[in-house]
Structure 1
């Protein structure tokens, strides 16, 4: 007697995104070339030609590897290998990173918009000096060909201190490492360092003018800007 048979539900197989394919190829090259920690990867132009992609597309894959700590992209030197993981491990971590990005952006929006408003009301002249110094530091980094990540971090720290809210500051410290992921991801987008610096200046101007609503609006616009990353598209 024939048995009833219910076919298993099939699910659509997702095609790996281009940056995932590039990450796999880059890691494959690292393994085949037997590169170890401290070794340099080929120059971006050479690597892009070998892979048959634009430098802008390659840059997104390198940013992903930098966020995961696999490489360290140093201005004037290039991409330096930090450690050599398995391809499967990196792809798994990359997908986990992508899935948590929206939550990190949501947390930043909740905390930093409030902090900007408080900073506009509570800031001191000393706070403004620290905010302006962070803008100068980021501008100098960008002028030197860097992404401005350190100056970016200094700016957000200065705004947090200017809010004079110990509990919110502790919450920012708690998510600082996760924010670093979004910072590297955002500043790796073409033209983003200059755009980010300009939005920082708008936030600083509102805080200087002690306009809480303008400061909150400027911070929200900034977070909307920096959360626009290729990894989520």
Structure 2
């Protein structure tokens, strides 16, 4: 009897190929931790790809910790090995849908609980996170730290120790999806507006509105290039 054909090879997405090119270029040039990559325009030209594709590859490298993007200071190399990076980039893209699904389930519930249980101290913490995010975005940043602080404040306002522990187990994976989402064009301002709707519903103690606003926000997070290019 003839043997079955092997399973089809997985399709390598363009940004993955570019991420591989970048790590190979880093290795060939002997670059290591603390060295900077060339400006995006120059690097895209050297690699022969569009700046949009390059940006997507750099985001993928950032979320797996291969590079660090500093606002106003360029992209720094962390010094990890290229084989490890390539595997992590693919693993990140593969697990992203499950992370977003878990976020939706947990954070939608937490937003509803926050609307019911929040204290004045909780509201102050939420407002401080919104202000930090707005300030960072206003100066040209992505608002990653403020975004993280906002979701932590909403989680705390839910006053559910078990759900807070579950969120803690997902923290690093959620940070990956946060960086990816906030790196999309015009996404930081859109995300900030969504956060404000969540905060307003929590302030009004409207459970249904808070849950709906959080669900809408997490749905926005799922609209990322690493998934739409699959």
1:186 corresponds to which residue? Answer: 181
- Report whether the alignment pairs 1:59 with 2:43: no
Task: Give the Å deviation of 1:122.
Answer: 0.9
1:31 corresponds to which residue? Answer: 27
Query: What CA distance in whole angstroms lies between the structure 2 residues aligned with 1:54 and 1:198?
Result: 30
Query: What CA distance in whole angstroms lies between the structure 2 residues aligned with 1:125 and 1:184?
Result: 29
Query: Contact between 2:130 and 2:146, CA under 8 Å: does it hold in 1?
Result: yes
Equivalent residues, number = 228
Alignment of 1:142-221 (within 5 A): 142-221=137-216
Query: What CA distance in whole angstroms lies between the structure 2 residues aligned with 1:47 and 1:197?
Result: 31
Task: Judge which range, 133-142 or 172-181, deviates more.
Answer: 172-181
Query: What CA distance in whole angstroms lies between the structure 1 residues aligned with 2:80 and 2:20?
Result: 12
Tell me which of 96, 101, 121 is aligned to 1:101: 96
Query: What CA distance in whole angstroms lies between the structure 2 residues aligned with 1:81 and 1:66?
Result: 9
State the TM-score, normalized to the length of structure 2.
Answer: 0.95
Query: What CA distance in whole angstroms lies between the structure 2 residues aligned with 1:220 and 1:199?
Result: 10
Query: Which digits, 9 at most, give the CA deviation of each residue in 1:120-171, with x for residues without a partner?
Result: 1111111111111100100111111111100000000110111111111111
Query: Contact between 1:138 and 1:197, CA under 8 Å: does it hold in 2?
Result: yes
Query: Contact between 2:44 and 2:54, CA under 8 Å: does it hold in 1?
Result: yes
State the TM-score, normalized to the length of structure 1.
Answer: 0.94
Task: Give the Å deviation of 1:119.
Answer: 0.6
Greater Cα radius of gyration, structure 1 or 2: 1
Task: Give the Å deviation of 1:10.
Answer: 4.3
Query: Contact between 2:126 and 2:153, CA under 8 Å: does it hold in 1?
Result: yes
Query: Contact between 1:36 and 1:81, CA under 8 Å: does it hold in 2?
Result: yes
Query: Which digits, 9 at most, give the CA deviation of each residue in 1:36-84, with x for residues without a partner?
Result: 1100010111111222323222111001101111110111111100013
165 and 14 in structure 1: CA distance in 2 versus 1, 3 angstrom threshold: closer
Query: What CA distance in whole angstroms lies between the structure 1 residues aligned with 2:7 and 2:165?
Result: 43
Query: Contact between 1:72 and 1:82, CA under 8 Å: does it hold in 2?
Result: yes
Query: What CA distance in whole angstroms lies between the structure 2 residues aligned with 1:214 and 1:69?
Result: 36
The answer for unaligned runs of 5 or more in structure 2 is none
Query: Contact between 2:16 and 2:90, CA under 8 Å: does it hold in 1?
Result: no
The answer for unaligned runs of 5 or more in structure 1 is none
Query: Contact between 1:119 and 1:162, CA under 8 Å: does it hold in 2?
Result: yes
Q: What is the CA RMSD across the aligned residues, in angstroms?
A: 1.3
